[in-house]
Amino acid sequence: MKKLLISACLYGEKCRYDGKDNMLSCLDLLKDKFTLIPVCPEVSGGLETPRNPSEIIGDRVVMNNGRDVTAEYTKGAEIALGTAIENGCDVALMKAKSPSCGSGKIYDGTFSRTLTDGDGITVGLLKKNGIKVFNETQIKELVEYMELQR
Ligand code: SF4
């Protein structure tokens, strides 16, 4: 089966900043079709769960209490990329809007739930390395894309 990198919270792991998950309702369907490789860059980068929410401000990542967590986000991104490469994943399903896993749109750094154009730190690195990224609103497109790759 083809391998798919997936945000661990979409896979049901309670690794979100608030200690909850974002388990997909179609997770079993994806497990039938693909070998899922879960990653949580924020946890593997060394952050605790639960943790304060973070947003990207310029070239830094900062928690809502002012703590600079750029190093943890960068380390987590490198670990996620390493996992993708080791497993031969060239496609990823990553959680929308996250400062790590978001693709296309992320929060704008004002902690006011305002979106702006951009990618999370991990998704930016995955894309730079040629990995195609989808989010959980694009499952149909993802499955079609993966099936065309066979
Ligand atoms: Fe989910 Fe990614 Fe945030 Fe981890 S870093 S909780 S996988 S969105």
Is the C-beta atom of 42 inside 6 A of ligand 1? yes
Closest CA to ligand 1's atom 6: 16
pTM of the model: 0.97
Distance from Cα 149 to the centre of ligand 1, integer Å: 26
pLDDT at 68: 98
Q: Report how far residue 85's alpha carbon sits from residue 138's, in angstroms, rounded to the nearest whole number.
A: 23
Closest CA to 128 of 68, 61, 80, 67: 80
Q: Which amino acid is at 20?
A: K
Reduced to 3 states, what is the DSSP secondary structure of residue 45? coil
pLDDT at 116: 98
List pLDDT tens digits, range 46-97.
999 999 999 999 999 999 999 999 999 999 999 999 999 999 999 999 999 9
Helix axes 70-87, 121-128, angle to 10 degrees: 40
pLDDT at 100: 98
